[in-house]
Structure 1
């Protein structure tokens, strides 16, 4: 079977490609838009550059791995990966305001939301993020109006800051508004720290997280793959929805290793379950600085490590990060 991997050098793309290659009969073609930077990777049988995804031959499966490629492909209609269909309707969750309105309408817990003109000095600290999913993007904590001077206010959502460590996630597959497979995790550390991809992640099971995710899938009528993200609110004593990512998530390696049902249903790939309780993504961790990396490695001594690419670039990035901190 031929698989065309879009945004092929994302971390999740490389992880997915390696899993698909577990079956030597599969052929992997990395697809780059002519606006994307050309790289190379031995996992791919071929790398092709196109001006538009419509130029991809109509054979095999197309696998969009990032927010941009997923949004482009969904804008053209439903997508199919073996047993799982990703429906065009899922585009709604790329619009964070529409997603929050849907949650509010269906009594799903979400942080309080503000318009910029409603903010007062006493409103801070708050959390801000972009209105539309871009894969990462601008987000963070603002302690005062001064922290919002350099940000594009018209592109942002302003929310109550949920004061609790880490982020919770439920990776899932859904068919016709029903969850058919899932895996839950706790993101203990991330890069960037304000909210991003996991650097230290732990497997968990919490029935409340599953309940909330199932309720979202049912009320939305969701079909496809995705990741529901939550923060735990000490005041409410409950989880609140942060967002649902209708795309492959950066920590999918961890999900797929612990629950290979994802691989079977998406890519017809059979692998043995490997129970990994806690995992450190060492490349991402290095990006947070060498000093922080040493601190985290000491804190989580003996935890499994995953090297996603060459450590040299990540090491240099960490070194420059520490140098930048000293200059401040």
Structure 2
């Protein structure tokens, strides 16, 4: 792990303040410049919560397809997104076969009173009657990770010396949009041998500000791209959450921090029974938040105009939707 461009930071050290906090901020800036990724310990989330949520999710994913189909939605919807619906490589302009995964999705429930906005960004969540424990666990997970994501945005602003009133996100996430996916990556024995160029998730960057990932390691797992090292297996620490930044935060940083490019490998020949479940939280900002890119010397570009967060995200969601 010491050779990876992805550094591990302890949020407890940052929260303690003083010299320890300053060093954490330096490490955050370094790791995000190198790969757009961090590992974060000291996050305060009870380790039993993701274990229990993953178990409840496996119960749902084990249901017959016709039962899961009662909760089927399209990409960006609330419910079950079945196989063949997404190809994340399209976000980079690469035509790939569909991603080898299925997803259960929930999202923010803070409507703003504008029907067209609320129907898109704050649609009601749907909960399967067959696995009643899933709702409570999923809501507990998203509540805790949403609070963590607010801390992460404050940490990242602090890494650039922008604290308190200077934190550019302080007033932009009061009714932030977010989605949370439980991704199931079935084994090769269930989905068959991958097609050429097919992944569990094709190479892409995420679209928002920060992504929080609780993952299971494996040979068909997460890989991260860095300019110096190319593609490499992401470092794994069972006590840490994996954090990456998305396109919106890269844009805000004026290109200082590249969005974390990553992929999830297809099932591997030497592990045909590997069956993984990942818990993912995609954080954004208020749908109408205006993001003004930081200019040099903090940013590295001075030619980026302000963008509206919701419009920025919606364009990217459309790009990965098949059919």
> TM bucket by the smaller chain?
under 0.3
Structure with larger Rg: 1
TM-score (norm 2): 0.24
Greater RCO (CA < 8 Å, at least 6 residues apart):
2
